[in-house]
Amino acid sequence: MWGWMNSANSVNNNVNKPKFIVDFMLGRLAKWLRIFGYDTVYADRSYPENIILTSLKENRVLLTRNTGLSRKRAWKMVLIRSDKFIEQAAQVMKELKFNISEADFFTRCTFDNAGLKAVPAKESIKSKVPEYVYKTQDKFSECPVCGRIYWAGTHYGLLIKTLKKASFIKLNLHVNKLTSMTMKNTL
């Protein structure tokens, strides 16, 4: 009934990358999965039926802390045990057997899940970012949906520290990556 839709609305460049639908109790995890570049629907206002349906329709792994929801038949599901983000991410990666890749970081808007587009000439976004950012940064990305601008920033160091502390993540991290004006709130 809905199998034909599987690839039509996928924005992932790698078809093997898991896609997620995350229940309302896991908002922080959803945001982080987007920061890591994973296509993630955050089901904050959805009824359980809609969550299950979206999981099935779009082949999304359901991440939930709701044991009631976990008894229903989603496409694939991970019942999250911890309330700590790092442990949640570790559980997801362990159970689904995948690692995050630095190349995918900040390729997706953390607010609406859209794929970010590189800004070809920074003059075009001058009015959208603080002056000191415009002066000190050269690489910017823009969300085609909400228009938010992302750039390399100091909060990235904090992200690296957090991830390194979580020894389950094996990464060769560099310092000059895109981050967003909202990283401070995310971490």
Residues that bind Zn ion (CB under 5 A): 109, 111-112, 143, 145-146, 148
Joined tokens for residue 46: 């959805």
| Cβ closest to Zn ion, residue 35 vs residue 56 | 35
CA distances from 95 to 80, 99, 158 (A): 10, 11, 26
| Cβ closest to Zn ion, residue 143 vs residue 178 | 143
Q: Which residues contact 63 (CB under 8 A, 6 or more apart)?
A: 20, 21, 22, 23, 26, 29, 77, 78, 80, 88, 92
Min dist. Cβ of residue 19 to Zn ion (A) = 17
- End-to-end distance of the chain based on CA atoms, in angstroms? 41
| Cβ closest to Zn ion, residue 65 vs residue 108 | 108
Min dist. Cβ of residue 31 to Zn ion (A) = 12
Min dist. Cβ of residue 52 to Zn ion (A) = 26
Min dist. Cβ of residue 142 to Zn ion (A) = 9
Total residues belonging to the chain: 187
Between CA 21 and CA 60 the distance in angstroms is 6
Q: Are the beta carbons of 12 and 39 closer than 8 angstroms?
A: yes
Min dist. Cβ of residue 90 to Zn ion (A) = 27
| Cβ closest to Zn ion, residue 146 vs residue 166 | 146
| Cβ closest to Zn ion, residue 69 vs residue 143 | 143
